[in-house]
Amino acid sequence: MNETHFRLLESMYHQAPCNAYYKPVVQIAEARATLTLPLAPHLHHAAGAVHGAAYFKALDDSSFFAANSLVEDVFVLTTNLNLYITRPVIEGELRGEARVVDRTKTLFIVEAVIHDSQERQVARSTGTFMRSRIALSPEIGYGARP
């Protein structure tokens, strides 16, 4: 396990411009990641529940970092994500937990699940991720100061 790599990935994530809108927090370990996404009314659709984009973000991001925890030289890319939303959420937070369940030299298969603040499962996904040619570097926030 490379704790330094995990902390650099976390820093890279928290610096990403889109996260200023969602305000998520990620914690990374070997082949695993947990993401907490606080919910607010600006994430609701017209019927008053959290929009599917928030579910997707929590599942994709946690899955991505579970996979990238195993790759120390390049950024991984999402190649497929099958998402199943099983329960609407209105308030609290989404907590996504992802783990790599299989891998080859270039492909990672990841399963993830989201729970709400009451510990109810509200969504799940399976996804595939592959190595890219994008170096993990300060230019993309890896190793840069927050």
Q: CA dihedral in degrees (129, 134, 135, 136; nearest 10)?
A: -60
Q: Where are the domains of the chain?
A: 3-140
- Is residue 146's pLDDT more than 70? no
- For the chain, the C-alpha Rg in angstroms (whole number) is 15
Give residue for tokens 């190649």: 79
What is the structure's pLDDT at 145? Answer: 62
Q: What is the tens place of the pLDDT at every residue in 73-96?
A: 999 999 999 999 999 999 999 999
In terms of Cβ atoms closer than 10 Å to its own Cβ (0-12, 13-18, 19+), residue 96 is buried
What is the structure's pLDDT at 106? Answer: 87
What is the structure's pLDDT at 121? Answer: 98
What is the residue-averaged pLDDT of the chain? 95
Reduced to 3 states, what is the DSSP secondary structure of residue 52? helix
3-140 sits in which CATH class? alpha beta
- Is residue 29's pLDDT more than 70? yes
Q: What is the mean pLDDT of residues 37-56?
A: 96
Planar angle of CA 130, 132, 3, nearest 5 degrees: 80
- The span from the CA of 8 to the CA of 80, in Å, is 25
Q: What length does the chain have?
A: 146
Q: What is the tens place of the pLDDT at every residue in 99-131?
A: 999 999 989 999 999 999 999 999 999 999 999
* Token output for 6: 């995990």
